Amino acid sequence: MKLLIIILFSIFIYNKSISQISGVVYGYDNGIKSTMQWVQIKAIHSNNYTETDSLGKFSLEIKNGFPDTLLFYSVGFYNDTLILTEELSKINLEITLYSEKILNEVVIIAKQKDYGTLKMKVINTETIGEGEIRKAACCNLSESFQTNTSVDVNITDAVSGAKKIQMMGIDGVYTQIQFENIPYLRGLESSFGLSSIPGTWIESIQITKGTGSAVNGYESMAGLINLEFKKPDKMEKFYFNLYTNNFGRAEANIDGSYKINSKLSGAYFGHGAIFNSEVDLNKDGFRDINLSKNYSFLNRWKYQGQKMIAVFGINSYYQGKTGGQIGYAPTVKSNLYGVNVEARHIDAFAKTGFMFKNKATRSLGIIYNIKYQETNALFGARNFTGLEKRAYINSIYEDQLFNSNHTLKAGLSFVYSDISQKLDSNTISKYALLKINKLEIVPGAFVEYTMKMGRLTNVFGSRIDYHSLYGLQYSPRFYAKYVLNEFIDIRVTAGKAFRTPNVIIDNISLLASSRKWLVDQTVTPEVSWNYGASIAYDFYISKRKNSLTVDFYRTQFVSQMVVDRDVSLDAIYFNNIRGKSFSNTLQMELNMALSKIFDFRLTYKRMDVEAPFNNQMAQQLMVQKNRWLAHVNYKSQNKKWEANITGVLNGKMRMKMFSQTYGAKLFDSQTAIYPTINAQVTFIHKKWNFYIGGENITNYRLKNVIIDAQNPFGNYFDATMVWAPITGITVYGGLRYTIKHENK
């Protein structure tokens, strides 16, 4: 009896120490989940083995109680483990093993930069991203370069409100501006067009220093600015921006995108700006800020097929500006001096790209653009009317030669430009034989060959264009990039370019002066050579990437239309100068990531821009010799706050000044060195951004902006000597609202 009790007790204890578990094992490979056979399974604590059958099922005894550890392993799949408890032993287990083709989880922490040099480009190219553009009170293109030193934006006069860019110290007409590789803001748009493009439409800006690529045309003499607008297939579903400032300027921007089908998507853009306040801070009787209204609209589409990509759209805008004496209105007759500018624009564009079925490296792209532009301007008693009709086409064929180290681009281009201009006869001297109406027909051909030789990449380019007025024009181009090591890139460039001057519209702000215009009897093309070199050095501090860039460029004019205001008080001379005018520009820029939340930028630029003025070589009027910029940017770790501050120290400029009595004597003068500071703070809450900021916080402004403002129709009136801000501190605020597309 005792023996029976011992046997039954032993069986009970044995059964308590042994448990049977079962389950099934699946494998996940290439997106497919299926049962796995021959998977090895080991109970580590019990030291027991088994394997799955043809259906992926298994059964295993656990001898020594819980907990225990199960190990699952199979060739070509990652091993997996399971901590087995008594509760888990009572259920049928399901285990999934993942193929070794699926990488282990990797956490990558990166910080996308909105500003910097494009390392992969052979040509020295800076990029300004959408985040960088938002740092300024950016409601149009002229306000998009406030944190950039390569491009300067200046007010042309004190009555029209026009702004122009400068690159390398020379006028913006020598810089080619493009919208996604389509020539833009040229001809009648060159003086007033910057304010027609809202900054909120722009996805990025690429700034090419030196002569641009032969593919893009013959006019890039000092640089190229390419604007990339938001793309229908990548932009937000809905975006709204509202802006206002302490002077009463109000602007609104709206855009959005929609998908028509799997291949076609579209986007719309709208902009409206208005200013109706009378501002005269210096009490000279003239408006410091023009009354203005601006309406811009853009509709674009993108088609993505298997063998073809197409982008096409329509762009239009209206601008109206009214300046001059307080109380002036263009619809009311009075003895007041007034300025009235109106511009109407519409253009249609398209870009098509074709891929070849049997060769992926081969492609053909064609760019089309037609444009209609009206620009009318009144400066006191001087009246200008202009009409421009333009057509442009550019075809680009690209293919590899031999292998990927040799690439060829070639193509044909065609430009048709019909500009009609009319200016009252009391402005331009009767002795000038100026071709005011100009029809240009320019067919052209180009080729560009890229050769990679290890660390060295060379690009040889050339254009031949036949100009209907000036005959055959040849424009060679050369670029090279040498990767010294993983930290240092060296770039060099050289090239020739030409343009035909539009004397009136290029210098229309000079109508805000009583001086006569004396123009050479013949107007010849402007031709220049540009040479330059750049060194970019990347270095790391505390595993954070920093960069130092130094570049030097020289623009040597073979011929140039030089505007000479040094000769007398009575006239402005427009002279064709050969071989004497030039621009030398040195720029140094340091970008540092001080921490995860702070970035710092320090830039210095020196510009020597000289030409013969009154038969003596001298610095160009109102061009700084030296300019310093410092920029600090902050982004909180929770991405709720952004803040930035930009300080600029503006160097001295040569200024030709009137004597106090407005007599016949002129004397040279140097302007003062002055600082400006801009700052902005942004709070981000879900779909909302709220921002507030200030411009010209130092409150530096010109007090005597207009010479002889009391006699605007007199012999000495001049509103073109503007070299510093006219208004003081500007405080602004606004909001942004964004709805993004849902990711499917």
| pLDDT above 90 coverage of the chain, percent | 63
Residue 100 pLDDT class (50, 70, 90 cuts): confident
Q: What is the reported pLDDT for 312?
A: 96
Q: Read off the DSSP letter of residue 174.
A: G
In this prediction, residues 127-153 reach a mean pLDDT of 86
In this structure, are strands 438-453 and 456-467 parallel, antiparallel, or unpaired? antiparallel
If one compares 15 and 155, the residue with the highest pLDDT of the two is: 155
Q: Does residue 435 lie within any of the structural domains?
A: yes
Q: What is the reported pLDDT for 102?
A: 63
Q: What is the reported pLDDT for 380?
A: 92
Q: What is the reported pLDDT for 12?
A: 40
Taking the C-alpha atoms of residue 589 and residue 551, their distance in angstroms, rounded to an integer, is 9
Do you know the residue count of the chain?
A: 744
Q: Does residue 25 lie within any of the structural domains?
A: yes
**Residue-number span of the structural domain to which 37 is assigned:** 19-98
Q: Does residue 14 lie within any of the structural domains?
A: no
Q: Does residue 10 lie within any of the structural domains?
A: no
Does 29 lie in the same domain as 167?
no
Condensed to tens digits (0 to 9), the pLDDT of residues 555-577 reads 999 999 999 998 888 889 999 99
Does 130 lie in the same domain as 31?
no
Which run of H or E residues covers position 5?
A: helix 2-17
Lowest mean pLDDT among 1-10, 21-30, 420-429, 503-512: 1-10
Across the chain, mean pLDDT equals: 88
Q: What is the reported pLDDT for 16?
A: 47
Strand, coil or helix: 153: strand
In this prediction, residues 488-501 reach a mean pLDDT of 95
Give me Rg for the CA atoms of the chain. 34
Q: Does residue 8 lie within any of the structural domains?
A: no
Q: What is the reported pLDDT for 432?
A: 44
Cβ atoms 373, 189 nearer than 8 A:
yes
Which run of H or E residues covers position 534?
A: strand 526-541
Q: What is the reported pLDDT for 664?
A: 44
Residue 255 is part of a domain; what is its CATH number? Answer: 2.40.170.20
Q: Read off the DSSP letter of residue 699.
A: -
If one compares 126 and 105, the residue with the highest pLDDT of the two is: 126
Residue 430 pLDDT class (50, 70, 90 cuts): very low
Torsion sign (Cα): 505, 510, 512, 515: negative
In this prediction, residues 132-141 reach a mean pLDDT of 81
Q: What is the reported pLDDT for 407?
A: 94
Condensed to tens digits (0 to 9), the pLDDT of residues 682-717 reads 999 999 999 999 999 999 998 888 988 999 998 889
Q: In DSSP terms, which residues pair with 450 in a beta bridge? A: 407, 459
| pLDDT above 70 coverage of the chain, percent | 92
Lowest mean pLDDT among 27-36, 379-388, 578-587: 27-36
Q: What is the reported pLDDT for 433?
A: 42
Structural tokens at position 105: 């989880």
Does 166 lie in the same domain as 90?
no
Last residue of a domain, one of 37, 65, 98: 98
Does 126 lie in the same domain as 229?
yes
3-state SS of 232-295 is CCCCCCEEEEEEEECCCCEEEEEEEEEECCCCEEEEEEEEEEEECCCCCCCCCCECCCCEEEEE
Does 611 lie in the same domain as 700?
yes
In this prediction, residues 2-23 reach a mean pLDDT of 53
Q: What is the reported pLDDT for 228?
A: 94
Does 134 lie in the same domain as 36?
no
Last residue of a domain, one of 98, 125, 148: 98
Residue 743 pLDDT class (50, 70, 90 cuts): low
In the numeric block, the tokens 């005269």 are attached to 280
Does 266 lie in the same domain as 119?
yes
Q: What is the reported pLDDT for 18?
A: 63
Condensed to tens digits (0 to 9), the pLDDT of residues 463-473 reads 999 999 999 99
Does 26 lie in the same domain as 152?
no
Last residue of a domain, one of 36, 69, 98: 98
Does 168 lie in the same domain as 93?
no
Cβ partners under 8 Å of residue 702, min gap 6: 282, 722, 723, 724, 725, 726
Does 683 lie in the same domain as 595?
yes
Does 151 lie in the same domain as 87?
no
Residue 681 pLDDT class (50, 70, 90 cuts): very high
Residue 28 is part of a domain; what is its CATH number? Answer: 2.60.40.1120
From residue 351, give the alpha-carbon distance in Å to each of 306, 396, 484: 16, 11, 37
Phi-psi region of 31 (alpha: psi -120 to 50; beta: other; left: phi over 0): left
Q: Does residue 307 lie within any of the structural domains?
A: yes
Taking the C-alpha atoms of residue 249 and residue 695, their distance in angstroms, rounded to an integer, is 14
In this prediction, residues 88-100 reach a mean pLDDT of 84
Q: What is the reported pLDDT for 103?
A: 56
Q: Does residue 241 lie within any of the structural domains?
A: yes
**Number of structural domains found in the chain:** 2
In this prediction, residues 30-44 reach a mean pLDDT of 85
Cβ atoms 302, 278 nearer than 8 A:
no
Q: What is the reported pLDDT for 9?
A: 40
Q: Does residue 546 lie within any of the structural domains?
A: yes
Does 574 lie in the same domain as 658?
yes
From residue 318, give the alpha-carbon distance in Å to each of 191, 390, 696: 15, 18, 29
Condensed to tens digits (0 to 9), the pLDDT of residues 165-195 reads 999 999 989 999 999 999 998 899 988 888 8
Condensed to tens digits (0 to 9), the pLDDT of residues 343-383 reads 999 999 999 999 887 777 889 999 999 999 999 999 998 99
Q: What is the reported pLDDT for 612?
A: 95
If one compares 524 and 587, the residue with the highest pLDDT of the two is: 587
Condensed to tens digits (0 to 9), the pLDDT of residues 206-245 reads 999 988 899 999 998 999 999 999 999 889 999 999 999 9
Torsion of CA 678, 627, 513, 422, to 10 degrees: -90
From residue 648, give the alpha-carbon distance in Å to each of 261, 600, 628, 675, 730: 49, 14, 6, 6, 16
